[in-house]
Chain A
Amino acid sequence: MNWLAFCSIVSAAVAVCFGAIGPALAEGRAVAAAMDAIARQPEAAGTISRTLFVGLAMIETMAIYCLVIALLLLFANPLLK
């Protein structure tokens, strides 16, 4: 096990770990705001939930990017060839 492999594994873990915090907080805020909006205006629930779904997908992509970076580091690392 050389240093480069060690660093890759650690940074993959760090990428997923910190990459999950931001989107988790953001999704929590988005869902809370949507719940608030639906409680105030139940007749707009359809529109709100569709917009919420699209927004959540956008936020979630950030976490997915981190996951892909981690997988690149673990399985397709160009420095470890």
Chain B
Amino acid sequence: MKSPLTSTALFHAGPVPITEAVLVTWAIMVLLVLGGILITRRLARTPSTTQEVFELIVDTVDSQIRDTMQVEPAPYRAFIGTLFAFIFVANWSTLVPGVEPPTAHLETDAALALLVFLAVIWFGIRAGGVRGFLRTFATPSPVMIPLNFVESITRTFSLLVRLFGNVMSGVFMIGIVLSLAGLLVPIPLMALDLLTGAVQAYIFAILAMVFISGALGGDGSARDADRANGGGDDTSIKGMAR
């Protein structure tokens, strides 16, 4: 049986081996970028049906960011939205026959988790400066500094293992069932796999938001005002992520 932890190179571009996961990733990137360009090419005041559907999606992403992070979504929309769209499309790319989702390989997930790790630093420094960002490590008390440092590494690792484990186990399970009982038996499992894929994309985006909002610290007045208005759920999610 093929090990799910390794990936074989299809061909070599110079010294760089190109695997199937990389090809699928490129295809998804082309799909998303071309789709984005085509849809936003003719934006109108009175939206067409297509524009309305995509405005709905952007609105949903915005409201999720507003609910989870208690901030204005504009600076984070692009990163979180792209993350969600990419993982969602990647997880559902099993629908195309013969395609294995790139998120079922460690490398793709490692790259995504690394992006979140860097984004936390980037958004944290942009919100509070270097000093403000470093001060978030000393919350709630300076005793927590080593723990917070370790946590920022381990949570990146757990983000990677979570996505990899979920998607890979789905693919692996379908492979095993397929080798045992041929034609129609794996279909319910594949449906379950689609559900898992959608939920994992959502979870990944939510956790990225939670980590980023943890690095923002208590900066903006809008944040505190929102919390005073009864948006107290933000702390509960953050507490759980720790």
Binding site for B on A (CB under 8 A): 46-47, 50-51, 53-55, 57-58, 60-61, 64-65, 67-68, 71-72, 75-76
Contacts and interface: CB of A to CB of B under 8 A. Distances in A.
Given A50-B233, A54-B240, A71-B5, A64 B207 contact: no
B3 A53 contact: no
A31 to B, nearest CB: 14
B163 to A, nearest CB: 9
Nearest to B159: A61
Interface of B: 3-6, 67-68, 158, 161-162, 164-166, 169, 199-200, 202-203, 206-207, 210, 233, 236-237, 240-241
Nearest to B204: A57
A47 B200 CA distance: 18
Q: Which 3 A-B pairs have the closest CB atoms?
A: A64-B165, A75-B3, A57-B203
Contacts of B237: 50-51, 54
A48 B131 CA distance: 34
Given A51-B237, A76-B3, 20 more contacts: A50-B233, A50-B237, A51-B233, A51-B236, A53-B199, A53-B202, A53-B203, A54-B206, A54-B210, A54-B237, A57-B162, A57-B200, A57-B207, A61-B165, A65-B165, A68-B161, A68-B164, A71-B4, A72-B5, A76-B6
B169 A67 contact: yes
B162 A47 contact: no
A53 to B, nearest CB: 6
16 contacts: A47-B67, A50-B68, A50-B206, A55-B240, A57-B162, A57-B207, A61-B158, A61-B162, A67-B165, A67-B169, A68-B165, A71-B3, A75-B3, A75-B6, A76-B5, A76-B6
A76 B240 CA distance: 32
Nearest to A53: B203
A67 B168 CA distance: 10
A75 B4 CA distance: 8
B151 to A, nearest CB: 13
B207 A54 contact: yes
